[in-house]
Amino acid sequence: MTDRSMDPGAAYGTRDPDALARRAGTRADPDHDQHFLVDDRVLDRLPTYLPDDADASHVLEIGGGAGALTDRLLALVDAEGQDSGRLTTVERDPEFAAFLREEFADAVDSGVFDVIEGDALDVAYPPFTACIANLPYGVSSEIAFRLLPERKPLVLTFQAEFADRMVASAGESEYGRLSVSAQHYAAVEIVERIPKEAFDPQPAVESAVVRCTPRDPDYAVGDEAFFLRFVKALFTQRRKTARNAVRNTGHISGLDDPDAVVEAADADLMSRRPGTLEPSAFAALAELAREHGNPTEV
């Protein structure tokens, strides 16, 4: 049986989360959106959720904390490419950033491991090949939409409600802007649900692990920024018909002539509500809006 209470010189992937927290000397602070994953079984599984063909030669982690997941990711990159594997961890808290550099000093010295100290919303990410992270839930949406356009494999933990919205299909109650936007970039699936007890301190909500596998959508958009803005606009009127949603949200989508879009679109399509439209229907409608609605930057 593996001894998970080993000292800092232990092989990667063997460190006990509780022992790491004791050595760090600083507890996670829920007031700062810190809920550290401490269940060994979940931590061990997270790296295995990368797609089979994923390139794990340079893994990005957001929010290293006391290093429980960092330890598993160092084992992953160490196995991936002998001398070429790398891990970069972004950590906002200066005390935890310093601890990670000390705990994994051998990996830092050998160039395998780097800690970027700063806010994950602001710092520049290195050219990573995959990302595995237990995201701080308060900013998980913003971080996810920094990562998704990179079109790299992602394994991320979210609040379960947020994860359910990411993977929802048209017609389901959870389906919305988040569903369309996330699925525009990747095939999105929930691979595991995590109970509160797997974290310390325990969050108020259940969590889920989401795998995002990059793919090209089965539709084309001429202007991705406009498409995403158009989707956002229509979902602010999700209980209206698409006809009224287009007319009422020109100030959000940047359409100078939303009535021209309504006139050009299929009447049956415009009688449906946004929550029933597949991503491909949003794409087709967005292209009509670009052609007929005289869109401008907003």
- Tell me the CB-side half-sphere exposure of residue 226, using CA atoms within 13 A: 21
| Among candidate residues 286, 278, 279, 245, the one with its CA nearest the CA of residue 171 | 278
User: Where do the domains of the chain lie, and which CATH numbers do they carry?
Assistant: 17-214 (3.40.50.150), 224-292 (1.10.8)
Please indicate if the annotation marks 91 as binding a ligand.
yes
Q: Is the pLDDT of residue 226 over 90?
A: yes
Type of residue numbered 241: T
At 4 the pLDDT is 44
For residues 283 and 219, the answer to whether their CB atoms sit within 8 Å is: yes
| Among candidate residues 129, 150, 148, the one with its CA nearest the CA of residue 140 | 148
Please indicate if the annotation marks 292 as binding a ligand.
no
Structure tokens at 246: 């287009």
pLDDT tens per residue, range 249-258: 999 999 999 9
* Of residues 98 and 294, more confidently modeled: 98
pLDDT mean over 10-19: 88
Q: Is the pLDDT of residue 1 over 60?
A: no
Q: Is the pLDDT of residue 81 over 70?
A: no
Q: Is the pLDDT of residue 2 over 50?
A: no
pLDDT mean over 54-83: 89
Task: Please tell me the distance from the alpha carbon of residue 120 to that of residue 136, in angstroms, as a whole number.
Answer: 10
Task: Please tell me the distance from the alpha carbon of residue 147 to that of residue 59, in angstroms, as a whole number.
Answer: 12
At 201 the pLDDT is 85
At 5 the pLDDT is 46
Chain Cα centroid distance, residue 121:
12
Residue 254: helix, strand or coil by DSSP? Answer: coil
| C-alpha separations of 149 from 182, 190, 210 in Å | 9, 19, 16
Q: Which pLDDT band holds residue 65 (cuts at 50, 70, 90)?
A: very high
Please indicate if the annotation marks 35 as binding a ligand.
yes
For residues 64 and 73, the answer to whether their CB atoms sit within 8 Å is: no
For residues 231 and 180, the answer to whether their CB atoms sit within 8 Å is: yes
pLDDT mean over 262-290: 96
- Residues above pLDDT 70, as percent of the chain: 93
Please indicate if the annotation marks 58 as binding a ligand.
no
At 75 the pLDDT is 95
| C-alpha separations of 192 from 49, 81, 206, 243 in Å | 9, 27, 11, 38
| Among candidate residues 64, 60, 128, the one with its CA nearest the CA of residue 102 | 64
pLDDT tens per residue, range 128-178: 999 999 998 889 999 999 999 999 999 999 999 999 999 999 999 999 999
At 3 the pLDDT is 45
At 141 the pLDDT is 92
For residues 285 and 230, the answer to whether their CB atoms sit within 8 Å is: yes
At 294 the pLDDT is 87
| Among candidate residues 285, 296, 292, the one with its CA nearest the CA of residue 243 | 285
Q: Rounded mean pLDDT of the chain? A: 92
